Chains A and B, each alone.
Chain A
Amino acid sequence: MNTDAFRKHLEESQPAFEMWGKYVAKKINEGAIQKLGGEVATMCFKIHSPPRLKKIDSALGKIGRKGYENPIAQMTDLVGVRYVVLLSEQIEWVCQIVMSEPTWVSEVSKDYQEEIEKNPKIFDYQSKHFEVRPKSNLDIDGILVTKDMCCEVQIRTLLQHAYAELVHDSIYKPVGSVPPKAERQVAKSMALMETTDDLFCSTMKLLSDANKPRNQLHEDLTTIYREKVGGHLLRPDVKTSYAVLDEFRELLKDGLSAEIGSYIDGKKFISNKVIERAQTSTIFAQPVILFVYWTVNAIDPDEFKKRWPLPGYLRDIDVIFSDLDRKPSYE
């Protein structure tokens, strides 16, 4: 195939590659929401970039340099999607999603962890790459995507991304000569990136260990809310819930969620009250509202009001006091 034939062929297959890139991105996003929940999924991806099609001229240049015979099949980066996460451990989450999608075949094409194991003394570009091809020819919205078409999926952390941006523009595509000192400096910065990532990960572990009882209670409250109030009424805002649970953290103890569950069962009117108000009042659409009812009943009303951390919901607190026939002594 000569250059003109390649160009024509690439031009014709552009829409199919574009469609394949979009399809891959859509499936990964859906998988993330399913695996992590909408909120965590959104927070997990730090940079959202649409699938990128390789420019035809740049593709032709590469074909010339590499001497590909069948560029459609041999070129693995005619379309690519990139996912940038915060921590190296989150890379694994995305890998799981890519590997478990049933409509395509995925193959690891670059595994930086394996490279580190092979060459422990080298600090270089780190990223996880997959080649993803349809399991069988696919018709997506009337466009045929054949099973030899590849989409490259790159997964990396913000730190790895920063390194890649610098190196890609200045070292891999040299504008001139690269002095050894510059090479040494990027290697040093990669070592620093890796160290920083270690610290980030262990910091997150410290935080999650420290907040485990709280986060666990929040999950349990969500389950109780679904069961006794109705999942369709939930409009969770984790920050609101955590603010309340953090303020009253000394009340958190083993078996608390079971205690709250049976308290809500015992006071039959509470779930009705929450149902009535969940659509008009945000706090009644939070799982933590069940903890609020329990706490209003459990501690001194004056103390509760003094400590209540969310001034925007003071009237709702008065309403809950009224539901439970509680009242502060000093007002």
Chain B
Amino acid sequence: METQSSPQFRFEGLTIDRIIVHRIYARGLDKQLKDPKVSSKLIKLGQDALDALQMRITGALGSKSHGLEMTIKDVGDGGFFQAAASMIQAQDETFIDLTKSLANGLSKAQFNTTAPGGMLAIINGRIGNDSLPFVAAIKAEPQDGFKADEQEDQVNMEYIAELLLTSTSRLYKIGFLTEIASKPAGAEGHHASNYRAFLFDHLMTATETRSAAAYFYRGFLGMETQASSKKQTQDYFEFTRSFIDTSPIQDEQKIDLHEALRSELRSQEATISVSSFGVKHFPNDMRKKYEAFMQGKGFPQNAVNKDTNYIHAKLRRRRKYTFTNDVWISTPPEKAENYLVIEPADAAGVTVVKIKASFKGQE
């Protein structure tokens, strides 16, 4: 069954109301599960810190990011979804208890991996023009760094062994759940169709690292990449093609851009995004038009999981026929045999090539 693509989600107006942080440990040498260190109080942050946290979330999930919309798979009791959905309306005390269960959930999810420990921040707030409630789970892995310490006539550096949530996106992952329709939980708990889910994890962006990401998005969050990925990838391909075709540029440029698009879709990158293709291949003015064009088509402004199943045939390279004197002929990838006929060379080494078209021009 094909999922309908949902309307574009904008990560605007994000406001943070509640934050709590727990500590998750890496699996020890003894291969025993080490329980997380859980907090019992919400933390209070100043405006600057709240703004920084807000920027981490929108930077990871919002427009031009590598964030992905996900499908909620695990709707069972004790999973992330039911806990997070219950948190949205919960009083502080229940909220705190539920976050503790998430900390345990993450510890278990990463037990069978070599994933590092870190902090698990659970954030509750509102997003968008309609102030939709959300819950975000951020796993932040520590890094080290320095702090400048300025005195009157001297600037010193202070070493900080454990620095969290710097803008280095390699070191945090975010699961994000927002309630788009407020309905009370039924007998089977909260219903996934009333929610939308998003993920940022840099490991998701390359095919090779997808398996390393699984403990977080699948094990902990109970999410999967969207079933609509095939359709979205096809849309991305078709929309971009028609944008290139209708642009006021030379034919050779169009050929190059079509090839760039095909090679983008054939690459090892596991996600595609309008902004990264635009930045890589279009001059600035054209990039702006491309972004506006794709937005007009309702294509997501963050990233999309790449699944080329529907367009496999269209991604083949142009064919290239090379002759011994370095003459070569290139044909479109589709139905190549129908474009030309190459007859065997005669005794003098001359080949007759019949092209089923009339001559148009020379580069």
Which residue of B is nearest A326, CB measured? B63
B47, CB-defined interface residue at 8 Å = yes
B199, CB-defined interface residue at 8 Å = no
Q: Is the CB of A325 within 8 A of B58?
A: yes
Q: Hey, what's the 0/1 contact readout for A293-331 against B, CB within 8 Å counting as 1? A: 000000010100000000000000011001111110110
Q: How far is the CA of A319 from the CA of B49 in the complex (A)?
A: 11
Contacts of B13 in A (CB 8 A): 267-270, 273, 323
Q: Is the CB of B131 within 8 A of A327?
A: no
Which residue of B is nearest A284, CB measured? B47
Q: Is the CB of B62 within 8 A of A325?
A: yes
A111, CB-defined interface residue at 8 Å = no
Q: How far is the CA of A298 from the CA of B142 in the complex (A)?
A: 38
Q: Is the CB of A319 within 8 A of B55?
A: yes
**Known A268-B131, A269-B131: A325·B51 in contact at CB below 8 Å:** no
Q: How far is the CA of A273 from the CA of B14 in the complex (A)?
A: 9
Contacts of B166 in A (CB 8 A): none
Q: How far is the CA of A277 from the CA of B49 in the complex (A)?
A: 12
B129, CB-defined interface residue at 8 Å = yes
A247, CB-defined interface residue at 8 Å = no
Q: Which of B321-337 contact A (CB under 8 A)?
A: none
B59, CB-defined interface residue at 8 Å = yes
Q: Is the CB of B12 within 8 A of A300?
A: no
A208, CB-defined interface residue at 8 Å = no
Contacts of B23 in A (CB 8 A): none
Q: Which of B13, B48, B62 has the most CB of A within 10 A?
A: B13
Q: How far is the CA of A324 from the CA of B129 in the complex (A)?
A: 10
Q: How far is the CA of A325 from the CA of B12 in the complex (A)?
A: 5
Which residue of B is nearest A268, CB measured? B129
B12 contact from A276, A277, A319, A324, Cβ within 8 A: A324
Q: Is the CB of B14 within 8 A of A323?
A: yes
How many Å from the CB of B256 to the closest CB on chain A? Answer: 20
B54 contact from A266, A267, A300, A322, Cβ within 8 A: A322
Interface size on A, residues (CB 8 A): 23
Interface size on B, residues (CB 8 A): 28
B279, CB-defined interface residue at 8 Å = yes
Q: Is the CB of A280 within 8 A of B48?
A: yes
Q: Hey, what's the 0/1 contact readout for B2-15 against A, CB within 8 Å counting as 1? A: 00000000111111
Q: Is the CB of B279 within 8 A of A272?
A: no
Q: Is the CB of B63 within 8 A of A276?
A: no
B275, CB-defined interface residue at 8 Å = yes
Q: How far is the CA of A272 from the CA of B17 in the complex (A)?
A: 13
Q: How far is the CA of A300 from the CA of B62 in the complex (A)?
A: 16
How many Å from the CB of A305 to the closest CB on chain B? Answer: 13
B254, CB-defined interface residue at 8 Å = no
**Known A302-B284, A319-B55: A325·B63 in contact at CB below 8 Å:** yes
Q: Which of A202-250 contact B (CB under 8 A)?
A: none
Q: Is the CB of A318 within 8 A of B55?
A: yes
Q: Hey, what's the 0/1 contact readout for A90-128 against B, CB within 8 Å counting as 1? A: 000000000000000000000000000000000000000
Q: Hey, what's the 0/1 contact readout for B43-67 against A, CB within 8 Å counting as 1? A: 0001110010011001100111100
Q: How far is the CA of A325 from the CA of B13 in the complex (A)?
A: 8
B278, CB-defined interface residue at 8 Å = yes
Contacts of A329 in B (CB 8 A): 64, 275, 278-279, 287, 291
B288, CB-defined interface residue at 8 Å = yes
Q: Which of A267, A269, A330 has the most CB of B within 10 A?
A: A269
Contacts of B48 in A (CB 8 A): 280
**Known A277-B47, A325-B63: A319·B11 in contact at CB below 8 Å:** no
How many Å from the CB of B166 to the closest CB on chain A? Answer: 14
How many Å from the CB of B41 to the closest CB on chain A? Answer: 22
Q: Is the CB of B47 within 8 A of A327?
A: no
Q: How far is the CA of A269 from the CA of B128 in the complex (A)?
A: 8
Q: How far is the CA of A325 from the CA of B11 in the complex (A)?
A: 5
Residue pairs across A and B with Cβ atoms less than 8 A apart, 24 shown, are: A267-B12, A267-B13, A269-B12, A269-B13, A269-B15, A270-B13, A272-B15, A273-B13, A276-B47, A277-B47, A277-B51, A319-B55, A322-B55, A322-B59, A322-B62, A323-B14, A324-B12, A325-B62, A325-B63, A327-B63, A329-B64, A329-B275, A329-B291, A330-B279
8 smallest A-B Cβ distances: which pairs?
A269-B13, A325-B12, A325-B62, A327-B64, A325-B11, A322-B58, A322-B55, A319-B51
Not counting A269-B131, A327-B64, a sample of 6 additional A-B residue pairs whose C-beta atoms are within 8 angstroms of each other reads A273-B15, A322-B58, A323-B14, A325-B58, A327-B62, A329-B278
Report which A residues bind B (CB closer than 8 A).
266-270, 272-273, 276-277, 280-281, 300, 302, 318-319, 322-327, 329-330
